[in-house]
Amino acid sequence: MAPAKSETLLQINDLDVTFEQSRGDLQIETAHALRGIDLTLGRGEVHSLVGESGSGKTITSTCVIGLLPMPPGKINHGQLLFKGRDLLKLSEAERRKVRGREIAMIFQEPAKYLNPALKVGEQITEMVILHLGMDKIKAGERALDLLEVVGLERSKRILKSYAHELSGGMKQRVMIAMAISCNPLLLIADEPTTALDVTLQLQILKLILKLKNQLSMSVLFISHDLGVVYNISDRISVIYAGKIVESGSREDVFSKPLHPYTRLLFLSIPEAGKGGSRLRAIPGSVPDAEHIPSGCAFHPRCPIAEDICRTEIPRSRNNGQGGAHHTAACHLIGKKWPD
Ligand code: SF4
């Protein structure tokens, strides 16, 4: 039976990450990549983390999977509670057991993830032998079953292929097969459809949803595109300059976005433009993590900013304008939008 949706699987509390880089003149520059991320993912849920490049999406997922390079990265404070246990307090050996077995990840470019020197069958069987303790024969059978599960032919020929011999869509499916090979509780999908054409994109999204339901997984879905996450998400969090600026159910975020950044993200995608209204590019760009603006980090790009925005960091809140669990970090929620 599928677990109750309300049960929390992953809870990120106040996660704060910096990177220190030497500039060569004996000066150390600190980049504040994550500035107190809070995010909750229920069992069986898809929670999408959306934002532009450089906003901190991938650093967040890298922390959850336990692959943040330290140094130069440093987790200053925070918690990553997975099934109630803080992943940040585990030893590297304990993290390795969780990674792949209970938390798995798929990436934008499978070619970077798949080992070019090993046949794909060897890569899948290696996972199940390591994490599930299967012998070689059973692991081979499991690998064939997994090909079928991800919509590929149940074929030894595919297992004997190297990654470069497969098409882009097949590589993506093989990577997904590896990720789900040990029935993980949490699948992190980091922009898994960005490099694909629209038809393939839809197929992979449908596959992820189907597998989520079949395997009762939770999914942390990373994307820069609100249009892509609409069909897959239960909950959406919008991230900007290392901070969650809005979070709510898909319905709440789509029907009544509270934060100006979310509203501009909507206006920048064709699907959300109402009745062919003109699309608007978001002015400016995400600030460098070394130079986060004072006050609300979005103020240099915000069309409704006021003086308070330049000096005071807004706290995440619900001012009664959204659903009960719909929050935004903005001083001026509800302020009239300029024409
Ligand atoms: Fe815009 Fe001010 Fe809200 Fe930031 S706090 S999003 S600058 S209105």
% pLDDT > 90, the chain: 62
Among 304, 310, 315, 321, residue to substitute to test ligand 1 (most atoms within 8 Å of Cβ): 304
305 CB near ligand 1 (under 6 Å): yes
Residue 273 pLDDT? 42
Q: How many CB atoms lie within 10 A of CB 93?
A: 7
Please give the model's pTM, rounded to 2 decimal places. 0.90
Mean pLDDT to the nearest integer, 192-204 = 80
pLDDT at residue 226 is higher than 80: yes
| Nearest Cα residue to 217 out of 174, 179, 175, 171 | 179
Q: Using 50, 70 and 90 to split pLDDT, how confident is the model at 321?
A: low
Higher pLDDT, 40 or 231: 40
Residue 100 pLDDT? 85
**Residue 50, Cβ density class (10 Å: 0-12 exposed, 13-18 middle, ≥19 buried):** buried
Q: How far is the CA of 268 from the centre of ligand 1 (A)?
A: 18
Calpha distance 65→44 (Å, rounded): 18
Residue 272 pLDDT? 45
Three-class DSSP labels, the chain:
CCCCCCCEEEEEEEEEEEEEEECCCCCEEEEEEEEEEEEEEECCCEEEEECCCCCCHHHHHHHHHCCCCCCCEEEEEEEEEECCEEHHHCCHHHHHHHECCCEEEECCCHHHHCCCCCCHHHHHHHHHHHHHCCCHHHHHHHHHHHHHHCCCCCCHHHHCCCHHHCCHHHHHHHHHHHHHCCCCCEEEEECCCCCCCHHHHHHHHHHHHHHHHHHCCEEEEEECCHHHHCCCCCEEEEEECCEEEEEEEHHHHHHCCCCHHHHHHHHCCHHHCHHHCCCCCCCCCCCCCCCCCCCCCCHHHCCCCCHHHHHCCCCEECCCCCCCCCEEECCCCCCCCCC
- The pLDDT tens digits of the residues spanning 235-265 come to 999 999 999 999 999 999 999 999 999 999 9
Residue 3 pLDDT? 42
Q: Using 50, 70 and 90 to split pLDDT, how confident is the model at 281?
A: confident
pLDDT at residue 188 is higher than 80: yes
Residue 123 pLDDT? 93
Establish whether the linkage from the previous residue to 3 is cis, with ω within 30° of 0: no
pLDDT at residue 195 is higher than 80: no
Residue 319 pLDDT? 64
Task: Provide the Cα torsion 229, 206, 210, 227; round to 10°.
Answer: 10
Higher pLDDT, 110 or 50: 50
Residue 274 pLDDT? 46
Residue 169 pLDDT? 86
Q: Using 50, 70 and 90 to split pLDDT, how confident is the model at 276?
A: very low
314 CB near ligand 1 (under 6 Å): yes
Q: How many CB atoms lie within 10 A of CB 164?
A: 9
Q: How far is the CA of 48 from the centre of ligand 1 (A)?
A: 22
296 CB near ligand 1 (under 6 Å): yes
- The pLDDT tens digits of the residues spanning 68-104 come to 999 899 999 999 999 999 999 999 999 999 998 899 9
User: Of 70-74, 75-79, 136-140, 270-274, which gets the smallest average pLDDT?
Assistant: 270-274
The letter for the amino acid at 172 is Q
Calpha distance 214→150 (Å, rounded): 12
Which residue CA neighbors atom 7 of ligand 1 most closely? 299
Residue 104 pLDDT? 93
Residue 77 pLDDT? 97
**Token reading at 154:** 């149940």
Computed over every residue of the chain, the mean pLDDT equals 89
Calpha distance 218→121 (Å, rounded): 26
Q: How far is the CA of 260 from the centre of ligand 1 (A)?
A: 7
pLDDT at residue 339 is higher than 80: no
Q: How far is the CA of 286 from the centre of ligand 1 (A)?
A: 14
Residue 6 pLDDT? 65
Calpha distance 152→149 (Å, rounded): 7
**Token reading at 316:** 């995440």
Check if the beta carbon of residue 98 is closer than 8 Å to that of residue 87: yes
Closest ligand 1 atom to Cα of 259:
6
